[in-house]
Structure 1
Amino acid sequence: MHTATYTLITGASSGLGKEFAIQCAALGRNLILIALPGGNCASIARNLAAEFGIKAEVFEFDLTDSLALQSHVEHIMTHFNVDFLINNAGMGGTSAIMDTSLERIDQIIQLNVRSTALITRLLIPHLLKNPKSYIMNISSMAAFTPIAYKTVYPASKAFISSFSLGLREEFAGTGLSVSVVYPGPIMTNSNTTRRIISQGLKGKMGLLSTPELAAIALRRTLLHDPVIIPGLMNRINHLLMNLLPLGMKLRIVSREVKKEIQYA
């Protein structure tokens, strides 16, 4: 077994994934960064290695390509000791189902659901070889209710939630700890920023900066917390929404989300 341990982060070239990379490097953790080709992941890795004196490796491929995923992960397991998996890569969007292409639906399911399940299954035997290891899966507050005009996205995030909690129970008593994070709105790019702003005060409730969100998620994952809802307003919102009947909750959330369509 290789002595140096690594944190593997998917979707690491921008947004929350990039912030996880920065903060893990600051903690002295070696990195394996996975991202799509053509991004700036190699530059991020070089800068973090130089600044924090850690090792950083980059693998650029499409996670929705299951053959490429299996090949790269097997190579990683052969050459590196991964003790922390952060399944961050994901995609969504807002549109009426009839205006959503079959390709887009397939992409969301393949990235959010299939690739997360596959990479986790491949790495679990490897993770278990360490005395302590961690999986952090990024779900969403959207996992807690169905949402019209998103439909596939919250369903995919509900899968992440169920998958993560099932895994945690399955590996209770081992050295592997599984946590699931439910972020609220994140201004990771211009599209999501416009959609959040379009909702006014309601859209900004629970909004955390990316560094703050990443710091909470990392700290609580390393403390073995199973369920992580960053931000007081998000936790209050979750409690209040649980008091509402499903039909009412669905209508309220969907009405607000519908406002995003013009910015999608």
Structure 2
Amino acid sequence: MKDVVLITGASSGIGKELAQLFAKEGRDLVLVSRNESELRKISKDLSDKFGISAFIIPKDLSMPSAPDEIFDELKKMELNVDVLVNDAGFGSYGAFIKTDLKTSLDMIQVNVTALTHLTWLLVSPMIKNGKGKVLNVASLAAFPPGPYMNVYYSTKAYVLSFSVALNEELKGTGVSVTALCPGPTDTNFQKRIGLTSAETFSIKSMSVQKVAFMGYKGLKKGKLIVLPGFVNKITAFALRFIPKSTAAHFVAIGQISRK
């Protein structure tokens, strides 16, 4: 079977930039997103530019059946995933009780359930082969509670905790897990959720290219947690010593001021 890098959320943002980095390395790709037209464009561009094979699997990860369907497609194409990048995810803004329930449940499905499901399906073959890497895109939002983005912050806290715990379980297998925890990043994320500013705790946004490169480099080195940017590192460290209630209060003030 052919070894490939599978990237979810590959049609934009960090996922798209990571696809570029792996293609430049000469790695064949499987690109997953619900945006089929964009996937086809990216696949052609990367194939033409770097001479690699870029397969596409258009799937909406908010559908519970999507991970199994992706796994079935991989088997049909005789592709073996030795690097899994779980980048797909989205957020929403607003007081929890006023936000659309389906949006919140779909967010948990994409950010948590699909990520967990795909990891379970693809890590077992990695263990059998004695090699593999997983990059889970969490966030600086994984560290404090997040009023007005309650569910999103909670999903990212899960991703970080899940990644750290799984990496410990996989020691000695040849498989490692890395959690990428970017702060505000220059993507369409803020526009999609209706925020006018990309700043959190007065942290200015980083370029998506820089964030993707640091995640890529961290994965290659087998780092457990990658926090791009000095200020992000300091913020995450400081949050360890602040009571959760205090952190939640400051996040709430920041969220209200951004709207």
TM-score range (shorter-chain normalised) is over 0.9
User: How far off its partner does 1:198 sit?
Assistant: 6.7
Residues paired across the two proteins, number: 257
Other-structure match for 1:197: 197
Distance in 2, Cα, partners of 1:249 & 1:12? 32
CA shift in 2, pair 1:198/1:226, >3 Å: closer
Distance in 1, Cα, partners of 2:127 & 2:54? 22
Structure 2 counterpart of 1:27, from 21, 25, 28: 25
Q: How does 1:1-264 map to 2 (within 5 A)?
A: 2=1, 4-78=2-76, 79-189=78-188, 191=191, 195=195, 197=197, 199=199, 202-204=202-204, 207-260=205-258, 262=259
User: How far off its partner does 1:73 sit?
Assistant: 1.2
Contact 2:201 2:254 (C-alpha < 8 Å) held by counterparts: no
Distance in 2, Cα, partners of 1:25 & 1:236? 32
Contact 1:179 1:225 (C-alpha < 8 Å) held by counterparts: yes
Q: Deviations over 1:114-160 (max 9, x none)?
A: 10011111111122233421000011111101111011111111111
Distance in 2, Cα, partners of 1:239 & 1:47? 40
Distance in 1, Cα, partners of 2:43 & 2:5? 13
Contact 2:26 2:52 (C-alpha < 8 Å) held by counterparts: yes
RMSD over aligned CA atoms reads 1.9
Determine helix, strand or coil for the equivalent of 1:47. Answer: helix
Contact 1:185 1:196 (C-alpha < 8 Å) held by counterparts: no
CA shift in 2, pair 1:15/1:198, >3 Å: closer
CA shift in 2, pair 1:247/1:99, >3 Å: same
Runs of 4 or more above 6 Å deviation: none
Distance in 2, Cα, partners of 1:119 & 1:7? 13
User: How far off its partner does 1:203 sit?
Assistant: 4.3
Contact 2:183 2:203 (C-alpha < 8 Å) held by counterparts: no
User: How far off its partner does 1:201 sit?
Assistant: 8.3
Structure 2 stretches lacking a partner, 5+ long: none
Percent sequence identity over aligned pairs = 32
Structure 1 stretches lacking a partner, 5+ long: none
Distance in 1, Cα, partners of 2:18 & 2:245? 36
Distance in 1, Cα, partners of 2:184 & 2:200? 12
Contact 2:91 2:193 (C-alpha < 8 Å) held by counterparts: no
Determine helix, strand or coil for the equivalent of 2:117. Answer: helix
